[in-house]
Amino acid sequence: MSPESKKIIDFHFGVYRRQGAKKYRKKQYRRLLNILNDIFNHEPSAHGELKRIGRKQIIGYWQRTINETDQTRLEKWRVLDRLFQAIKKPSPPRPRRKNI
């Protein structure tokens, strides 16, 4: 992840991490950083920049993490949605539910 991207995330999530259920929000923040690092490592078209992450990269991430529970994937989608709202991008695609 580029230093500029980290600064943008820290700026938008600073208040988010300090208020409310702090443990959960810090966990969500760490999840977001892990998601973005995974995307930057596996999606060469992103080039380490937040503005270059779109539907294709998010769908690729959901396909790579298909073994996670539906609840975990929903929580990850929520933090991604918050990031996309902060950087004024359309909402990311939701993960598909597993067939039982």
- The model's confidence at residue 31, banded by pLDDT at 50, 70 and 90, is very high
* Mean pLDDT calculated for residue range 65-70: 92
pTM of the model: 0.86
* Mean pLDDT of the 39-48 span: 87
User: How high is the pLDDT of residue 100?
Assistant: 55
Mean pLDDT across the chain: 88
Q: What is the mean pLDDT of residues 1-8?
A: 86
Instruction: Note every long-range contact of 77-86, with CB atoms under 8 Å and residues 24 or more positions apart, other chains counting.
Output: 78/28, 79/28, 79/29, 79/31, 79/32, 79/35, 80/32, 80/35, 82/13, 82/16, 83/9, 83/12, 83/13, 83/32, 83/50, 86/12, 86/13
